[in-house]
Structure 1
Amino acid sequence: MPQPPSERYEDDLEDVPAPGPVHYAEQSLLGALLLEPHRLSDISDLESGHFSNHAHGALWQAMRDVPAPEPDAHRSSPAWLNAVLDAARPLAPGLTASYLHALIQVCPWPEHAPAYGRMVRADHARRTVLVHAERLVQTATDTALPNRVATILNRADTLARFLDTLAGRFASHPGSLPRTVVPAPRPEHPDAEAVEEEQHLLAAATAHPADLDTMRWLQPGDFTLPLHAAVWQSLNALVRNGDPVDAVTLLWEAQHRGLLDDGLDPQDLIALVTSPAGGSPAHWGERVLQRALLDRAAEVGTRIAAYARDPANTPHQLITGSRRALADLAALRTRWTHSSSPPPGPRAPRAPAVSRAGPPPRTTAPTTRALH
Structure 2
Amino acid sequence: MTPLVQAEQAVLGAAFLAPGQLDRLSPWLRPEHFSRPVHTALYAAMLKLRADDHPAAKAQDAGPVPMSWMTGTVAEASKHTRGLTASYAHSLVSACPRPEHAVVYGRMVLEGAIHRSVAQHATRLHQASRADAIRGGVEDTVHHAEVLSDVLADLARRWGGEPRPVAPPASVPPPPAHPQPVDEQLLADEEFLLGCLSARPQRLDEVVGWLHPGDFADAGHQQIYRSLGALHHRGEPIDQLTVLWETQRRGALADRTLDTERVLRICDPSAFAGSAEYVGEQVVKASLVRTAAASARQVRELADDESLAPARLIGHALHALGPLVEVRRRWRTATGAEPKPPHADHQQDSTPPAARIDAALSRSRPHRTAAPPVMVPTTAAPPSARDRHHRRSPS
TM-score scaled by length of structure 2? 0.74
Match of 1:151 among 129, 133, 140: 140
Whole-Å separation in 1 of the counterparts to 2:136 and 2:253: 40
Asked if the contact 1:218/1:285 (under 8 Å) is kept, the reply is yes
Which of 119-128 and 75-84 deviates more? 75-84
- Is 309-318 or 268-277 further displaced after alignment? 268-277
Match of 2:301 among 306, 312, 326: 306
- 1:233 & 1:71 partners in 2: Cα distance? 70
Do the aligned partners of 1:178 and 1:318 also contact (CA within 8 Å) in 2?
Answer: no
Match of 2:2 in 1: 20
Q: Which residue of 1 aligns with 2:330?
A: 335
Aligned to 1:95, the other structure's residue is in SS state: coil
Range with greater deviation from structure 2 (138-147 or 122-131)? 138-147
Per mean C-alpha deviation after superposition, the further-off stretch among 275-284 and 207-216 is 275-284
Give the Å deviation of 1:210: 0.8
**Contact 2:133/2:286 (<8 A) preserved:** no
- Report Cα offsets for 1:89-126 as digits up to 9, x if no partner: 12223111211111111113111111111221222222
**AA at the equivalent of 1:269:** V
**1:60 equivalent in alignment to 2:33:** no
Task: Return 97-106 or 151-160, whichever deviates more.
Answer: 151-160
Among candidates 121, 124, 137, match of residue 135 of structure 1: 124
* SS, match of residue 159 in structure 1: helix
State which of 142, 158, 161 in structure 2 corresponds to 1:169.
158
1:184 corresponds to which residue? 176
Q: Does 1:198 align with 2:190?
A: yes
Quote the offset at 1:287 in angstroms: 1.7
Residue of structure 1 aligned with 2:212, choices 212, 215, 219? 219
Matched, 1:290 2:285: yes
State the AA in 2 paired with 1:300.
S
- Give the CA RMSD over aligned residues: 3.2
Q: Does 1:79 align with 2:79?
A: no
Equivalent-residue separation in structure 2 for 1:272 and 1:214 (angstroms): 20
Distance verdict in 2 for CA 1:247–1:29, change over 3 Å: same
Stretches of structure 2 that go unaligned for 5 or more consecutive residues are: 344-395
How far apart are 1:86 and its partner, in Å? 1.8
Q: Quick one: which amino acid aligns to residue 242 of structure 1?
A: G
| Alignment partner of 1:123 out of 94, 112, 115 | 112
* Cα distance between partner residues in 2 of 1:311 and 1:130: 11
Deviations 1:21-71 (A, max 9, x none): 210011011111212223322322222222111111111122223314246
Matched, 1:269 2:251: no
1:93 paired with 2:82, answer yes
Match in the other structure for 1:240? 233
- The letter of the residue matching 1:283 is Y
Which residue identity is paired with 1:31? G
Give 2:264's aligned amino acid: I
Consecutive unaligned residues of structure 1, counting only runs of 5 or more, are 1-18, 346-372
Q: Is the 8 A contact 1:206 1:273 kept in 2?
A: yes
Give the structure 1 partner of residue 274 of structure 2: 279
Distance 1:336 1:252, change over 3 A: same
Contact 2:132 2:289 in 1 (8 A): no
- Residue 79 to residue 202, structure 1, CA distance change in 2 (3 Å): closer
Residue pair 1:178, 1:307 contacting (<8 A) in 2 also: no
Aligned partner letter, 1:208: R
Q: C-alpha displacement at 1:194, in angstroms?
A: 2.7
Post-superposition offset of 1:178: 5.4
In the alignment, the residues of structure 2 paired with residue 157 and residue 77 of structure 1 have an alpha-carbon distance, to the nearest angstrom, of 46
C-alpha contact (below 8 Å) 2:292/2:324 kept by paired residues? yes
Q: SS of the counterpart of 2:202?
A: helix
Shift of 1:74: 7.6
Larger mean Cα displacement after TM superposition, 284-293 or 143-152: 143-152
> Which of the residues 15, 23, 26 maps onto 1:33?
15
Q: How far apart are the structure 2 equivalents of 1:104 and 1:127?
A: 26
Query: What displacement does 1:77 show?
Result: 5.6
SS at match of 1:284: helix
Identity of aligned residues (%): 36
Query: How far does residue 141 in structure 1 lie from its aligned partner after superposition?
Result: 0.9
Look up the equivalent residue of 1:38 and give its one-letter code.
Answer: G
Q: Of the candidates 43, 47, 54, which is equivalent to residue 30 of structure 2?
A: 47
Bigger drift between 261-270 and 208-217 goes to: 261-270
Q: Give, in whole Å, the separation in 2 of the partners of 1:86 and 1:250.
A: 76
Q: Which has the larger radius of gyration?
A: 2
